[in-house]
Homo-oligomer: A and B are copies of this chain.
Amino acid sequence: MAGNTFGKLFTVTTFGESHGIAIGGVVDGCPPGMALCEADLQVDLDRRKPGTSRYTTARREDDVVEILSGVFEGQTTGTSIGLLIRNKDQRSQDYSKIKDRFRPGHADYTYQQKYGLRDYRGGGRSSARETAIRVAAGGIAKKYLKTRHGIEIHGYLSQLGPIALACEDLSVVNDNPFFCAEPGKLDALDAYMRDLKKSGDSIGAKVSVVVKNVPVGLGEPIFDRLDADLAHAMMGINAVKGVEIGDGFAVVEQKGSQHRDELTPQGFASNHAGGVLGGISSGQDILIHMALKPTSSITVPGNTIDTAGQPTEVITKGRHDPCVGIRAVPIAEAMAALVLMDHLLRHRGQNADVKSTTPVIAP
C-alpha cells in the first residue's frame, strides 16, 4: 500500500505539498452521531500553526480547515470526512536556490533518488506542513475519545536542548509558547532560544504525551500492539529519531524486581510500563516520549553536492523553526489520538460481546 493512509478502521489519508495549492485529507471510519464543526478542529490547528511566536517560522498561514463532507446538520454521518486547507503564504521563490542541490539533513536526496524527480519548493511532500492535516484529523479522534470515553491526551515539551522540563502542571501547557509544563523554566527557555536564534543554529528537543482514562484492553497482539502502533505513529512524525513507552531506555539498567509494576486491589503500585502490558492498554496512564532532531534548515553554511554530484555549499534562508520539537507537541497528541481511536474501533469490532468477570482495577 502506498504510504499516505494511517490506521486500519479509523483511517486518515492525506495529500499536499508545502508550497502547493492546498493540503487535505480524508478521515474514514468516524462513528456517526457526534457533533462536529470546524471550530472543534481549529483549536489544535492554531496551537500548531506557524507564525505565532518569535520561536517559530515567520511563515504566515491561517490554517483554516474546511470540512467538506461527512457532517450533516452538525453531526457526523458515518461517511468519510473530507478536510481541506488552502495554502496561502507560499513564497516559492525562496527555494529556487536549492533546486539543484541537496540540503544536508533533509529528504532532498532521498526523494530525488526514489522518485527520479522532486518538488523542491520547501521540501514538497516531505515538509512538516502536511502535519496540519494530521492535527485536524486527530482533532476528530480527540473529540470522540473525550466525549464518549473521557480519554484525555496531553502533550508537553519535556526537554529543549540541555534544559530538562518536568511534568509539573499540565494545565499551563497552552499558556506559553513552549508547551512547557514547568513554569519555573520559562525564562531559561526564552534566554536559550534568543541566543540560539542569534547563532543561526537549531536545537533538538524531547516531547512527551500522557494519555489519561484509557480503557483496559486496547491493542491487537502480536504485531499491532498498542505500543508498537504508537511507536509507528510517533517515529512517523518529521524529525523524530527515538520513541519510548514508559521508562523507555532506562529499563536497560533496571532489575526485574524494580521494573515490574505490582498489582494491588487499589490499583497498580507503579507505572514503569507506561500503561501497556503485552501490547494491550492496562488502564494506567499511557506515557510516551520522543526525541526530535534539530531543524536541518539553518543559516550556518553546510557542505553538500548538487544534482550532478559536484560539491557545493548550502545556506537555508527560508523561514524555519529553530526548534521543530516545540510545534511537534500538538502533532504528537494528534497521532496518539489517531492510534487510540483506531484501536478502540478494532477492539470493539472483535470483542464487543466480551464480558470480563475480573474486576477492573483502578489506575
Contact = CB atoms under 8 A, between A and B. Distances in A.
Interface stretch (A54-62, A168-176, A183-191, A237-245): A237-245
A307 B358 CA distance: 5
B14 A80 contact: yes
B254 A79 contact: no
B9 A251 contact: no
B263 A350 contact: no
Interface in A54-110: 66, 68-70, 72, 75, 77-82, 84, 102, 104-107, 109-110
A197 interface: no
Contacts of A20: 68-69
A212 to B, nearest CB: 18
B204 A263 contact: no
A150 interface: no
B252 A117 contact: no
A77 B245 contact: no
A349 to B, nearest CB: 3
A80 B126 CA distance: 12
Given A4-B79, A245-B235, A265-B309, A256 B296 contact: yes
User: How many copies of this chain?
Assistant: 4
B217 A113 contact: yes
A13 B16 contact: no
B80 A13 contact: yes
A7 to B, nearest CB: 8
Contacts of A351: 31-32, 78, 114-116
Contacts of A40: none
A136 interface: no
B216 A254 contact: no
Given A9-B2, A31-B350, A205 B252 contact: yes
B31 A14 contact: no
A109 B3 contact: no
- The residue in A116, A300, A357 that gathers the most chain B C-beta atoms within 10 A of its C-beta is A116
A291 interface: yes
A28 B5 contact: yes
Nearest to A19: B72
A254 B294 contact: yes
Given A29-B2, A350-B345, A251 B262 contact: no
Given A13-B26, A115-B351, 14 more contacts: A13-B13, A17-B79, A24-B24, A77-B125, A107-B279, A109-B361, A201-B256, A202-B257, A204-B253, A241-B244, A248-B291, A254-B293, A262-B302, A307-B357
